Amino acid sequence: MTWLVTGGAGYIGAHVVRALLAAGIDAIVYDDLSTGRAAFVPSDARLVRGTILDGRLLSDTLTEHAVQGVVHVAGFKYAGVSVQRPLHTYEQNVTGTAVLLGAMAQAGVERIVFSSSAAVYGTPDTDLVTEDTPKRPESPYGQSKLIGEWLLADQHVAAGLQHTSLRYFNVVGSGDPAVYDVSPHNLFPLVFDALLDGRTPRINGDDYPTPDGTCVRDYLHVADLAQAHVAAARRLSAGEPMEPVYNLGSGDGVSVGEIMRTMAQVTGIEFTPEIAARRPGDPARIVASGELAARDLDWRMRHTLQQMVQSAWDARRRAEAG
């Protein structure tokens, strides 16, 4: 059995590729390397370099390798930047998904696991998000992910596409020391950058109605996330019933203050975070229920916060050492 992973040279995609291979599923990586890295692709996975907008190359790749399903991770993932680059965001995430679905139809590939996002919810009016929580995306990125889900649903009606979408919040950690988060916008890389540069990390607001006054969010280990993608791929391949969407969440979350304290402990660099003003629109707590995913995808939090931070730090230090 062979599955194609779009964006498989990126931080999340590379972990999905490794999880597929570990499960005995051959993986083909399709990536334009705009943000992904060829070094993240394991030696036993084939890398095809191409843009998600190249329908012919996608179709040829699917056909040549007798691909049976796609894990679609490729996309422009920077929610904040998407506000300044909406057209680019929609081109990569909406047009790209439509092109991929067209290539799949041409090649006769009928299964897809879509990497969606908790950004489809915007700022929910509940502190425990379920799949039925109203969708109110607040950025072009969030909008594009919701439209991607619609495209899959419409293609199911039109052509029988078998699909599911996985929505998740903050992905951290490393399941392989050779792969680390390279995003310039995510919390863990930002804190590591500050500590390695001799700067003090910052917390935006410490007066929220939470146990320590800092925002509470859902942080998920990337290896746990990758396992959920494999479980979804297997379930689709077996023709077993699935929900159209699943939240991947912890059900309780951790605070930014907890993250900072664990960072100091793991890195051995003592610091007291600088406290800045709240960012407009930041809710006190956003945590997702993972009950449906636990039922169908064997979803669970297999890593502690300590393990999340330690694995991320180890991978980052390896990268710094070259």
| Phi, psi angle pair for 89, to nearest 5° | -60, -50
Per the CB < 8 A criterion, the answer to whether 122 and 135 are in contact is yes
The answer to whether 78 is a known catalytic residue is no
DSSP-derived 3-state class of residue 69: strand
Candidates 30, 78, 90, 141; catalytic one: 141
List, as one string, the DSSP characters of 230-299: HHHHHHHHTT----SEEEE--SS-EEHHHHHHHHHHHH------EEEPPPTT--SEEEE--HHHHHHH--
Per the CB < 8 A criterion, the answer to whether 149 and 95 are in contact is no
> How far apart (Å, rounded) are the C-alpha atoms in residues 58 and 8?
14
Per DSSP (E only), the strands in the chain are 2-6, 26-31, 46-49, 69-72, 111-115, 128-129, 162-168, 170-172, 202-204, 216-217, 219-221, 245-248, 254-255, 274-276, 285-288
Per the CB < 8 A criterion, the answer to whether 32 and 11 are in contact is no
* Active centre residues (catalytic): 141
